[in-house]
Structure 1
């Protein structure tokens, strides 16, 4: 979910603890708590909690005493648990927030609801919460580099607490902060809390419903991309859970937007964009350089490969992986996120991820290894030894900037290399069409129609002419999407 995608820049630093028993109750009538606080007093080695070490416990007690700042926010009420209602628990989580270089930014403590015990239809309904697509992020960064826009980054503190709950959710009192006068009462939550299944959606609804009051419009192409037009100027906002990128040509309007958001929400202005979702963004003389150095280093340490021998290529040529029984390798999921900035490993990661259910050591070995819109499409015909399906590969450039790439197995067996390449052309043209919609929403004109490159003459001819013969007459209608775009002169192949 959105919470899981967003945890990569936080390092969990220890198990839960409990606070002092003499601490004032969390919930006083309609008063509420701030469920997250900074802990500047701690050193790095003070974070891990051990019940057998009183000195450490005393420091954690001090943290939690500072943690809960009572304020009139109408976050929860102490009530008796109604009959036939579900009661969920909660726990303390201690984390370390780090800078892009790995140094400690601050220590954090968070009260998390045990949402895994929620029951669908009883205390939660819809849970889906959109996040901005990687291609959209790279597209906006490419535009910012091209037009020399300033990139600002914002972070929403206690973001989920801004979300309004529409379901009845009851939670036990936080460990160590039970009300001594009413120990048998429970918390009726009025605002979303980290850990609740509907918390990301509640926060997203709250934030996206506020943005139109500032003049922002949303696009169906990406529901986490918002645009505000100020005369001939533009302001662009990207949302990924509680991380925000804001840029555009109207610097004065950007300042006003940040001020308005700070008034409505508890927002921290992080200044110019340097580190976003584990991605380092470095401004150079020629543009922006994206890297995931810390993320890669953390992966190598986690999987005990920091001293491994490096390879020159992402995978071995002509190395065909077979379906075999084996053990699950967690590194596969981590590598999928690394493709955000590494198109060169997209194919090898795609190949190995086909065996997520039963990977082998051989699969693990394979893993180690002007604003013109143009794209390159390719396919390998029947190279998979398991099902003989072909694989589509594509990369899309905006000017000289790669903004979208993919390696994906086709859904059906192709009878010829022409059919495999033609299916790849159709898949790539659909991606180009979506990117054109994003650019149109951003009022970015294209000087000419996008160009799609292919290395199969028969597939190119098929995209121009409605010819049919024995090996292509069975191709589904939707695959001819590329031919329609060419006939409308919206695409050049």
Structure 2
């Protein structure tokens, strides 16, 4: 999260007068000073006033300050969801009304360099298709909560430099899968004995181009 001109949002607790900026004063009023109504950049207390303002606003949304680091705020809801983000992705790429898919990829799907454009007409066909933007958007969802699309997103990423129409169809299929599962989320429960179990997928040299 970023806040534009952050320090200008702080409220002043003291009365601060400021010399008029060059070119601002009119003839005969050069002796007058400006009384600040809000914090500005350059004040010694500007950063603290911004912190107090931010603290009040973020606390109103239910976030709590971390006792170990006052720069960190947390809100415990028990779950992590990216449904809002997924809806934005679907709308951005004109897929908000698409029919859902039951899986992003199925057994038997094969991807290789032969599916990449080989001539100018094929490259021209892909010229205005936002393949890289879609893969990047899918990767953002995958990194945070949608680990179920990690495998197929990794495959799609291999062809970022020269994607073909077959790769684009798969990217759209992943978005269709998210359409039907956008309410899926990670659920967390408090436990004294947290045991993390990792799983690794192997398709036994299924990557045709490198035999890995």
TM range (shorter): 0.5 to 0.7
Determine which structure has the larger strand proportion and give its number: 1
Cα RMSD over matched residues? Answer: 3.7
Give runs of aligned pairs for residues 242-391 of structure 1, distance below 5 A.
246=66, 253-254=67-68, 257-258=69-70, 272-273=74-75, 282-283=77-78, 289-323=79-113, 324-325=116-117, 326=123, 327=126, 329=131, 330-340=133-143, 341-367=145-171, 368-369=173-174, 370-385=193-208, 387-390=209-212
TM-score (norm 1): 0.25
Moved over 6 A (4+): none
Quote the Cα distance in structure 1 between the aligned partners of 2:194 and 2:102: 32
* CA–CA distance in structure 1, aligned partners of residues 136 and 155 of structure 2: 13
> Quick one: distance in 1 between partners of 2:147 and 2:159?
20
Q: Which runs of 5+ in 1 are unaligned?
A: 1-5, 13-33, 39-65, 76-104, 106-150, 155-245, 247-252, 262-268, 275-281, 284-288, 391-493
TM-score of the two chains, using structure 2 as the length reference: 0.53
- What's the offset of the Cα at 1:70? 4.8
Give distance in 1, aligned partners of 2:95 and 2:81: 19
Comparing both chains, which one has the higher relative contact order based on Cα–Cα distances under 8 Å and sequence gaps of 6 or more?
A: 2
The answer on whether the counterparts of 1:300 and 1:306 sit within 8 Å (CA) in structure 2 is: yes
The equivalences for 1:128-277 within 5 A come to 246=66, 253-254=67-68, 257-258=69-70, 272-273=74-75
Matches within 5 A, 1:102-121: none
Deviations 1:361-399 (A, max 9, x none): 3212212334334332331122122x2432xxxxxxxxx
Report the counterpart of residue 407 of structure 1 in structure 2.
Answer: none
Closer, same or farther: CA 312–319 of 1 in aligned 2, 3 Å: same
Q: 1:36 to 1:298 in 2, by over 3 A?
A: farther
Partner of 2:51: none
Higher helix residue share:
2
Task: Give 3-state SS (helix, strand or coil) of 1:377's partner.
Answer: coil
- Structure 2: tracts of 5 or more residues without a match: 10-36, 47-56, 118-122, 175-192
Look up the SS of the partner of 2:201 in the other structure: strand
> Given that residues 138 and 153 in structure 2 are in contact (C-alpha distance below 8 angstroms), is that contact kept between their aligned partners in structure 1?
yes
Deviation string, structure 1 residues 409-432 (Cα, Å, up to 9, x no partner): xxxxxxxxxxxxxxxxxxxxxxxx
Check the 8 A contact 2:7/2:40 in 1, yes or no: no
Deviation of 1:334 (Å)? 1.1
Offset of residue 321 of structure 1: 1.9
Change (3 A) 1:72 1:378: closer
